[in-house]
Amino acid sequence: MATMYPQPPYEPGLQEFLDNSPFPRLTSLEQVAAIRADPSKFISIHPDTLIAGRPITHTERHVPSMYKGDPDILLSIFSRNSPHDGLRPCIYWVHGGGMFMGDRFGGLDRSLECVNDFDCLLVSVEYRLAPENPDPAPVHDSYSGLFWVGEHLEELGIDPERLLIAGASAGGGIAAGTALMARDLKGPLLCGQLLSSPMLDDRSVTVSTMQFDDKAMWCRATNIMAWNALLSNKAGQEGVSIYAAPARATNLEGLPETFIGVGSCDLFRDEGVLYAMKLWEGGVQAEIHVYPGGTHGFEAFKPKLDISVAAIENERRWLRRMLEPKTVPSEKDEMAVELAAL
C-alpha cells in the first residue's frame, strides 16, 4: 500500500527478512486471540530455559498492588548465584508485546547478560494485558511492582542510587509511563530509563506512523488497533493519561537520564525522537540513536547485522555507565586531574 510519504530504505538484510517474515500482520483483536490460544504461535519461554548455562538464579515474588481491588503483582527476580558483598544495581524490566501479548520472560536475553557481567539484579514485572485489562491496568501493575522494589531495597540488596527502569516496544512505553508516575507520586528514585523502540503516542499522527505498509514489523493499522485495545477505543481522543501515552506529557523535567534506540524504518521512530527532544527541553540528559534501515525490533530478529551489533553495543555501554558504582572523587583524585592538565 502506497503512502503519502516516501519510505526510507530498509537495511538489505532486514528487507530479506521482511520479505519472508513468519509473523502475521495483526489488524484485529480476533487475530490476537487466535494467536494467544495457539501454543505453536504464542511461545512463552520457560525461565529454566532462559537461565540454562548461566550462573543465574531465578525466584518469584507476589507483591501487593498499590491500587485497591487490583490483584497482586508477580515479579521474577534474577541474580547471579555467586556470593556478593555490598549492594547491587538493579534493572526493572517491562516486556513488550503491543500491550496485548507477551509475558515477563520476553526480551530478557540482553538484560540477563547484564546480570552476569555487571552483577546486577534483574526484576521483570508481569502486567495485565489489554483489551481484557485496559488502561490504567498495565502501568498500574508496572508502577506497583517498581514501588515495591523501592520499598524493599535493603532486603533485596539494591543500591538506591543504581535502580533503573527499562523496556522495549510497548514495554518501553509502559516503562516511560512508570517513570513519570515515579516522578509525580511516591518514587522510587530512578537513575535512568532505557527505552528501546518505545510505544509512546496513541495519536498516530507523526510522519513515521504513515510511512510503513503491511510489510513492516509494526504497521499503522496494527498500531491503531493496539492503542484502541489499551484505551477502550479512545485512542487519539481527549483525556488520555500521560502515564498511558507518555508522548502527551508536556513537561518531562525531573525524569532520570534516558537512553532511546530506534530504527529509521520503525513506525515508532518519530515519537522516540520527539520524546528525546522534549526531555532535553526539560533539562534531562538524553541519548538517542536512530539506526539507518532498522525495522521495529531489528536487533532481536537479526542480531548479527552491523546495525544490530551497533545497537546492542550502544545500549550495553550506556547500561554499564549507569550501573557502575557512583563514586565521588577525592581531593587527591581531583589534584591528580589538575596536575595532569598542566
Please give the pLDDT value at position 301. Answer: 92
Alpha-carbon span 251 to 253, nearest angstrom: 6
Higher pLDDT, 50 or 196: 196
d(CA 122, CA 182) in angstroms, rounded, equals 18
Cβ contact 43:300 at 8 Å: no
Q: Residue-wise over 9-18: b if at least 16 C-beta within 10 A, else e?
A: ebbebbeebb
Please give the pLDDT value at position 337: 55
Domain layout of the chain by residue ranges: 12-341
Check whether 329 has a pLDDT greater than 70.
no
Distance CA 162, CA 327 (A): 12
- Mean pLDDT confidence for 9-23: 88
Q: What contacts 107, CB < 8 A, 6 or more positions away?
A: 93, 95, 96, 168, 171, 300
pLDDT for 334 beyond 90: no
Percent pLDDT > 90 in the chain is: 82
pLDDT at 213 over 90: no
CATH 3.40.50.1820 fits 12-341, yes or no: yes
Q: Give pLDDT, residue 214.
A: 66
What integer is the mean pLDDT of 90-97?
Answer: 98
Span 155-168, pLDDT tens digits: 999 999 999 999 99
Cell matching residue 182: 515515579
Question: What percent of the chain is predicted at pLDDT more than 70?
Answer: 93
Given a cut of 80, is residue 204 above it in pLDDT?
yes
Averaged pLDDT for residues 56-80 = 98
Helix residue ranges, H only, 187-253: 220-230
65-73: average pLDDT: 98
Q: Poorest-confidence range of 14-18, 121-125, 261-265?
A: 14-18
Residue 180 pLDDT greater than 60, yes or no:
yes
| pLDDT above 60 for 295 | yes
Do residues 276 and 264 make contact, with C-beta atoms less than 8 angstroms apart?
no
Query: Higher model confidence: residue 339 or residue 258?
Result: 258
Is 301 in contact with 275 (CB distance < 8 Å)? no
Residue 257 host element (H or E): strand 257-263
| Average pLDDT, rounded, for the chain | 93
Whole-angstrom Cα distance, residue 299 to residue 180? Answer: 27
pLDDT digits (tens, 9 = 90+) for 240-291: 999 999 999 999 999 999 999 999 999 999 999 999 999 999 999 999 999 9
Taking 70 as the threshold, does the pLDDT of residue 341 lie above it?
Answer: no
pLDDT of 332 above 90: no
pLDDT at 255: 99
Say yes or no to pLDDT of 1 above 60. Answer: no
d(CA 140, CA 136): 6
The answer to whether residue 330 scores a pLDDT higher than 60 is no
Among 102, 308, 306, 321, residue whose Cα is nearest residue 194: 321
Q: What is the pLDDT of residues 45-65, one digit of tens each?
A: 889 999 999 999 999 999 999
8 Å CB contact between 158 and 149: yes
Q: What is the DSSP letter of 223?
A: H
Mean of pLDDT values over 105-134:
96
Q: Collapsing DSSP states into helix, strand and coil, what is residue 69?
A: coil
